[in-house]
Amino acid sequence: MRAVRHKLVVGNWKMHGSRASNADLLSALLAAQPPVTDDADVAVCVPAVYLQDVSARLRGSAIAWGAQDVSAHDQGAYTGEISAAMLAEFGCRYTIVGHSERRTQHRESDELVAQKAQAALAQGITPIVCVGESLAEREAGQTEVVVKRQLSAVIHRLAHCAAEMVVAYEPVWAIGTGRNATSEQAQGVHAVLRAQLHAATGHGATLKILYGGSVKGSNAAALFAQPDIDGGLIGGASLNAADFVAICRAAG
Ligand code: PEP
């Protein structure tokens, strides 16, 4: 199931930044020209309040931008939520859905994550669907069961559109902990996810599966060299231009 898939590196700024620090970070990224090439695309997913600023700063550049979440609803009495149509108005290219911080802190279910992915795709926004097991689940030998269950909900809801999503495997125990999955551990889970995607959609060879969880300049190349790892979703290291550029270069 080997196919040429462009690598994709996405920064997840989480709830970090200010107008001033964002401007500095983006200027440094643009000046460094991360390898947005035939082999690797780069994007940053930023706090919603900065979407307009960031879209203006990145306009005309090869760095795409996206959101960190989206509402499952089109419009209505959903205080605090932001619809996919609103994101699309600003030219949003991606949105993360189902990040483990939202699954745990906001009790987002597999079904809600699937609805969010569907809402994004309906507006032409590519959902980056996060799946991943907790440490307790890994230690109980449940990794495959958990990630397959999470992905299955999305595949089922998106049906033939499932081929349009990006999947991010993010083991919860590796996020923000400095403890990344080894290349072999990550590759093992990615291969399982790709086989599942292939069986369900027939597009396993072209769908991108990113790895996320304590990716750094020092471990990115080994992770990205794995046959089923198509790039990364980068948290902490995406806040530092030099670190993020090093990771982008490892993908290019
Ligand atoms: C993330 O938040 O998606 C993430 C992978 O974080 P970190 O790179 O900091 O582990």
Contact indicator for 216, 234 with CB cutoff of 8 Å: no
pLDDT recorded at residue 99? 98
Please give the class, per CATH, of domain 7-251: alpha beta
User: Which ligand 1 atom is the nearest neighbour of the CA of 214?
Assistant: 10
pLDDT recorded at residue 35? 66
Integer-rounded Cα Rg, in Å, for the chain is 17
**What is the distance between the alpha carbons of residues 148 and 151, in angstroms, rounded to a whole number?**
5
pLDDT recorded at residue 1? 53
pLDDT recorded at residue 4? 72
Pocket test for ligand 1, best of 102, 215, 216, 247 (most atoms within 8 A of CB): 215
pLDDT recorded at residue 33? 75
**What is the distance between the alpha carbons of residues 9 and 13, in angstroms, rounded to a whole number?**
13
Per-residue pLDDT of the chain (252 residues; tens, 9 = 90+): 556 789 999 999 999 999 999 999 999 999 997 767 667 899 999 999 999 999 999 999 999 999 999 999 999 999 999 999 999 998 999 999 999 999 999 999 999 999 999 999 999 999 999 999 999 999 999 999 999 999 999 999 998 899 999 999 999 999 988 888 899 999 999 999 999 999 999 999 999 999 999 999 999 999 999 999 999 999 999 999 999 999 999 998
Active site residues: 99, 170
**What is the distance between the alpha carbons of residues 106 and 100, in angstroms, rounded to a whole number?**
9
Provide the residue ranges of all domains of the chain, joining segments of one domain with +: 7-251
Ligand 1 centre to CA of 233 (Å) is 7
Ligand 1 centre to CA of 76 (Å) is 32
